[in-house]
Structure 1
Amino acid sequence: MKRRFFSTTALALGALAAASALPSWAQPQPQLQPSGRIGSLMQISVVDRGTGAELPLYFHRGEYWVAGRPGARYAIRARNAMGERVMAVMSVDGVNVVTGETAGVGQNGYVYGPRERSDITGWRKSDSQIAAFEFAAAGNSYASRTGRPDDVGVIGVAMFRERVAEPPPPPPVAPVTPYPRRDEYGERERRSESSSMGDARAKSAPAESAAAAEAPAGRLARPAPSLGTAHGRRETSYVGKTTFERAQSSPDEVVRIRYDSRENLVAAGVIPVPPPPPRWPRPTGPSAFPGSDTGYVPDPPPRY
């Protein structure tokens, strides 16, 4: 059975109640994306709303990272790269951004039309309002304040393709009966039927394309991040409703982006810091440039 959903302006929100299944986590690509976007079904990026710029993504030890500034508002920007509708179930700090539930891939999400782009700017409060996403201390994050601090510091997007109705089968064709023929002696004989070819092979339904990787066996060992996402000020953001039937219960793609302050990411080696410029070694013996006075060559003192 189908559930109905919301959306922002032209963007529709939708989902279908699907059987629970383990998410298939998309493997990140081992490079820094210059444009700050990742994903194939949809291109996902994080936008600083103060400047309008997409924040650069850093790839470090199998994870994508983005640096946030405490107090800055941000948005999750998603672009549908497909010529069909795609649903994106989004989570921040392990919380569904639409329903406020502890995030699961079978929950409600935003439905994007073909080639559509939209910024998700906050926690959905109603059909017309959101509470802005805002970088804040981990203890002031919405997840921590609602008793769910374990997954603070991560943004996730699970993407689903839509089930396409199969065309009706063509009408059956009546078999053609061959005419009998007579041999040279006038005796009537019928054409013998060809023998069947051994045992018929059983037709097996094609397996669904589950996303390849297994869910992580356990929680990643990591220090608690210093940044989380606060429940910011209320803003106007209109949403519509639609229905969406997933092609399969497990996501076709999952994107995960972790975040923290720039200072912490530099200290952890996520953001590379260029080495300081080399200093000229002070030579032994006389110096070629012992002073730094400017001007022209003065006259020498008089001889005695």
Structure 2
Amino acid sequence: MKRRLFSTVLALTALSAAADSPARPYMPQTPASSIGMLMKISVVDRSSGAELPIYLYRGEYWVAGRPGARYAIRAFNAVGERVMAVMSVDGVNIVTGETAGIGQNGYVFSGLERSDITGWRKSDSQIAAFQFASAGNSYASRTGRPDDVGVIGVAMFRERRSEPPPPQIAPYSRRDEYGNDREQRESSSMGDARAKSRSADSAVAAEAPAGSMARQQAPSPSLGTAHGRRENSYVGKTTFERAQSTPDDVVRIRYDSRENLIVAGVIPPAPPPRWTRPSGPSPFPGSDPGYVPDPPRRY
């Protein structure tokens, strides 16, 4: 399946939770598989094909990565219209390699379309796979941008809908003081003003500064995303005009190793394994602790 990605001129077609009360310990909720309103975003382990659980902890979403594992960002357009998704990993635009900003290009999804985005875009036909690695071996760190390692971002934009032309006003006749007919036509200045306004809006959207959306500073996690092996992934071009310069929805998912998330309290520790009685004679048929009791009296 081909995917489309947006460009300012063309688009490539291809392929809060409240703070915890000190008196109440935090109880993690059942993890979700995807989040988002316009689009449902999830993270997929490519070796198993399973969506990784997304944990909500202190108002932030988290997934646990496994060092060396390849992953994909799965995006499902939940609305019946085209949506553009500007995607970043570790603060880097996954299409252009620029330090990510909401005014940059991204992928365009048709209504109800789903696609797995599997890596850094290298050309119209190839990507470098997303792969969990140590923070120091991440693509962002190796290109001198380590501050935002450990976060996946998706900014979503609705498409501007073309407006119908203003209705034509039928001419009418009016007699002047000399009794002559005179044609009067409705001025089109209002329509011209609307057209100029739309042009100005488009110019503002195209010139929106890359850093116009502030990013929260995150502590440097132990996991990042490496520039993995090359894989085939084909793209083409399409045009897309945003309905507005600011995103209609933004998804932010942080990630780290499972061990670190358990230590941080994001993931509850697994309960100790319960011993199960084997079939047949058991060397340990009872579970009550204690010492050897006296045998019953003989009768």
Could you say whether these structures have the same fold, taking a TM-score greater than 0.5 normalized by the shorter chain as the test? yes
How far apart, CA to CA, are the structure 2 residues paired with 1:33 and 1:176?
A: 73
Structure 2: 5+ residue stretches without partners? 10-15, 20-27, 175-196, 202-211, 275-287
TM score, norm. by length of structure 1: 0.70
Runs of 5+ in structure 1 lacking a partner?
A: 1-8, 18-26, 178-204, 209-213, 279-286
Residue in 1 that maps onto 2:230: 234
Q: How many residues align?
A: 236
Aligned CA RMSD, in angstroms, stands at 3.2
1:58 aligns with 2:55: yes
Q: Does 2:252 correspond to 1:251?
A: no
Work out the CA distance in 2 between the residues paired with 1:241 and 1:290.
77
What's the CA shift for 1:275? Answer: 5.9
Equivalent residue letter for 1:238:
Y
Cα pair distance change 1:256/1:32, threshold 3 Å? farther
- Aligned position for 1:112: 109
Shift of the alpha carbon at 1:290? 2.3
> Comparing both chains, which one has the higher relative contact order based on Cα–Cα distances under 8 Å and sequence gaps of 6 or more?
1
Q: Is the 8 A contact 1:141 1:231 kept in 2?
A: yes
SS at match of 1:144: helix
Counterpart of 1:14 in structure 2: which amino acid?
Answer: F
Residue aligning to 2:4: 12
Return the match for 1:157 from 154, 158, 167.
154
One-letter amino acid of the counterpart of residue 57, structure 1? I
1:261-285 per-residue CA deviation (whole Å, 9 max, x = no partner) reads: 000001011112266699xxxxxxx
- The residue aligned with 1:145 is 142
d(CA) in 2 for partners of 1:248 and 1:28? 28
- Paired-residue identity, %: 70
The structure-2 alpha-carbon separation of the partners of 1:277 and 1:109, relative to structure 1 and needing over 3 Å to count, comes to closer
Q: Could you tell me which of 259, 264, 286 is aligned with 1:263?
A: 259
Summarize the Cα distance change of 1:92–1:32 in structure 2 as closer, same or farther, 3 Å threshold.
Answer: farther
**Once the two structures are superposed, what CA deviation does each residue of 1:247-301 show, in whole Å capped at 9, x if it has no partner?**
11111111100000000001011112266699xxxxxxxx995239xxxx8998x
Distance 1:75 1:169 in 2: 46
Give the TM-score normalised by structure 2: 0.71
8 Å Cα contact 1:122/1:132 also seen in 2: yes
Q: Over alpha carbons, which structure has the higher Rg? A: 1
Q: Distance in 2 between matches of 1:44 and 1:174?
A: 54
Greater fraction helix = 2
